[in-house]
Amino acid sequence: MNPTNSPVYPWKSPAWIDRSDRARLWVSGADRARFLHNLTTNDVKKLGVGAGREAFVTSLQGKTLAFVIMHVTQDKILVRADPGGLEYALPHFQKYGALDDVTLEDVSASTCELHLIGPWPDFMGFVLGADYSHLSPNPDPEGSLQIRESPTGFPGLTVIGPISSRNSLVTSFHHAGISPIEGERFEALRILAGTPLFGREVTPANLPQELGRDDRAISFVKGCYLGQETVARIDAVGHVNRVLKGLRFDEGDAPPAVGSPIHDQGKAVGMVTSSARSPFDGRPIALAFLKTSHAHAGMRLAVPSPGSGEPAWGVVADLPMKPENQPDR
């Protein structure tokens, strides 16, 4: 793919960001697939070597303890989450895995995780396949993986390896003409893509279906798992009471503060969970949980404007939010 011919790609060349602060957990042992299958919303048993899948870790009550991505290797399964994203899930795993043949190894501090956003069909010998597909480079530094994923909504490649390999990876990116992206810009792209973040969109107060990722993170035919009764009941009813949506604001508005209430005719209908300025047109954007009655694209809702007595008006948008302009990098 040629970035200059793409109607949506935001830059003229690939970029990278260090995401080593994310959580990484190796799960090994004979029961590893069954163990994760029984504690997450997606089908793990059917995943083959080299495949990956996202899922929610749910409590007995069906609430979201974590949003994870799992990758199956020959003898282990790698579980990844946002920074702090295993805070509730790891004790949960330890509790329910006590009688299983599984070993949990937290390698967050001993590994690095670098994500590249790029318009390439092939990078570092890795041919991009299905989301979360991965392979080990050759020669393989112990525990290294190259993963195809798109948390920003654009083609991406995540490289995971020993922490000792970070500097050499960064040097190779520099020599390839791949420069770093600012965290603020990555955050804006995440918001546009509607990728949920632990502590913002993912909390133990949420139900999995509120995140709007049923087709990617929930299997309704996989059989029993912890929290399934609640998830299945919601599916049978057909809806949740609130759902994650995007908001767009006018260019002159300030990005709303996280936690800001959202109103319609004086009635509270939602809350802002993340906000930034779009790297495409500079307009404020946000993610928000909205009552399903007020989650229709095009609705105008009032949000307190930082430093102003007047509310800003956010227009509801479906996720992912489509970029409207593409400035040069």
Query: Is 60 exceeded by the pLDDT of residue 211?
Result: yes
Average pLDDT for 205-209: 96
Model pLDDT for residues 275-297, shown as the tens digit of each residue: 999 999 999 999 999 999 999 99
Query: Is 70 exceeded by the pLDDT of residue 235?
Result: yes
Asked if 290 contacts 270 with a C-beta cutoff of 8 angstroms, the reply is yes
Query: Is 50 exceeded by the pLDDT of residue 329?
Result: no
- Is domain 241-329 given the CATH code 1.10.10.10 in the classification? no
- Is domain 3-191 given the CATH code 3.40.50.300 in the classification? no
Q: Please tell me the predicted confidence (pLDDT) of residue 119.
A: 62
Q: Which two tokens stand for residue 35?
A: 């163990």
Query: Is 60 exceeded by the pLDDT of residue 142?
Result: yes
According to DSSP H, which parts of the chain are helical? Answer: 32-37, 89-96, 166-175, 183-193, 214-217, 228-237
Query: Is 90 exceeded by the pLDDT of residue 143?
Result: no
Sequence spans of domains, the chain: 3-191, 241-329
Model pLDDT for residues 61-108, shown as the tens digit of each residue: 999 999 999 999 999 999 999 999 999 999 999 999 999 999 999 999
Query: What mean pLDDT, rounded, does the chain reach?
Result: 89
Handedness of CA 124, 167, 80, 256 (dihedral sign): negative
Q: Please tell me the predicted confidence (pLDDT) of residue 65.
A: 97
When mean pLDDT is compared across 131-135, 201-205, 245-249, the lowest value belongs to 131-135
Average pLDDT for 201-219: 96
